[in-house]
Amino acid sequence: MAINLLALSVGNTRTKVGLFLAGKLASSQAVLNDNLDGEFAGTVEPLLSQVKDTESPGLILASVNNPVAQRVIAALAKLAPELKICRPEDDLPIPIGRQLDREALVGEDRLLNAAAAYDVLKQACIVVDAGTALTVDFIDGAGTFHGGAIAPGAQMMLDALHAHTAQLPQVTLARPEEPIGHNTTQAMLTAVFHGLRGMVRELTEQYAEVAGSYPLVVATGGNAELLFKDYELIDRIVPDLTLLGLAATWRSVAEEQEG
């Protein structure tokens, strides 16, 4: 099905924008939330122009950051008042099963990542989202999201070390130069880098025991490339997984309405 869609994912640090034309991701860009007022219109307006020129254009927005989402929605209403802004779960159900506690509240991004991964793989998998927080979620072979684990992200760990100690410096995330840190900065980086990789490996092994087989592991998020590039545990890195989940959600509803 030919989907023409502008998809937006509002995160804690950045807002990602994806243009889908004839069902394919034609363009994706990210705007830091701190720079939203200055950069958003310039980034989104040309993409909106492209999608508005297509047949049955759509606009969908997911968010884990409501204050920023409200600013984005207000800007979109000015740029494209003729397009309805659809929200996953509120307007369109995310096409993924769930096995969760009744009172559980799960971020839209986790469900969308799961839906996108299963939409392509059609088998049990693990999704690692390395952003402001780091999540490791399990989806079974029937396409059911079971939840998983939530940890502080890499930069958050480094920031916490600085904020809650007297002598540790402020450090910006980077790949450590070698496994043993020979100065304070490198010691902090190597602990966070290898600690998160080790956590993901341990959780993957635990999930595999539950599943009875070793699932494929997909990584996404702003720090996925830095943390997991060339890591044999990770089968693939998909930076735009949440945007793909938004497109899969739109397509699922459109197909249901058609058929």
The CATH number that applies at residue 231 is: 3.30.420.40
Residues 101 and 208 placed together within one structural domain of the fold = yes
Separation CA 172–CA 185 (nearest Å): 9
Residue 199 within a domain:
yes
Question: 1 burial class (0-12, 13-18, 19+ CB within 10 angstroms)?
Answer: exposed
Whether residues 228 and 108 share a domain: the answer is yes
Cα dihedral sign for 237, 242, 245, 246? negative
Residue 236 CA to residue 238 CA, distance in Å, equals 6
Q: Indicate whether 54 and 116 sit together in one domain.
A: no
To the query of whether residue 109 is one of the catalytic residues in this protein, the response is yes
Residues 187 and 126 occupy one common structural domain: yes
- Residues 78, 117 within the same domain: no
Location of structure tokens 């930069």: 155
User: What one-letter code names the amino acid at 250?
Assistant: W
Helices (H), the chain: 36-52, 66-79, 108-121, 154-163, 184-211, 224-228, 241-258
Coil, helix or strand at residue 152: strand
Q: Are 154 and 236 members of one domain?
A: yes
Question: What confidence score (pLDDT) does residue 257 get?
Answer: 81
Q: Which of 34, 90, 109, 159 is catalytic?
A: 109
Tell me, yes or no, whether 26 and 125 share the same domain: no
**Which two three-digit tokens encode residue 103?**
């009172």
pLDDT of 254: 87
Domain encompassing residue 69 = 5-87
Letter for the amino acid at 197?
R
Query: Is 57 in the same domain as 103?
Result: no
- Return the pLDDT at 78: 93
Q: How far apart are CA 3 and CA 253, in angstroms?
A: 11
* pLDDT at res. 31: 94
Q: For position 232, what pLDDT does the model report?
A: 97
Task: Quote the distance between the C-alpha of residue 58 and its chain's center.
Answer: 20
What integer pLDDT is reported at residue 235 of this predicted model?
Answer: 97
What does residue 150 show for φ and ψ, rounded to 5 degrees? -125, 125
Closest to 120 measured CA to CA, from 220, 31, 27, 229: 220
Task: Quote the pLDDT of residue 132.
Answer: 94
Total domains in the chain come to 2
Q: Is residue 148 part of a domain?
A: yes
Q: Does 40 share its domain with 147?
A: no
* Encoded tokens for 61: 């927005």
Are 136 and 230 in the same domain? yes
Measured distance CA(190)–CA(239) in Å, rounded: 23
Q: Please list the rounded mean pLDDT of every run of 10 residues in the chain (259 residues).
A: 89 95 94 92 93 91 95 94 94 96 92 97 97 97 97 98 98 96 97 98 97 95 96 97 97 84
Residue 128 lies in a domain: yes
The whole-model pTM stands at 0.94
Instruction: Mark whether 103 and 224 lie in a shared domain.
Output: yes
Task: Let me know if residue 235 belongs to a domain.
Answer: yes
Question: Within a domain: residue 178?
Answer: yes
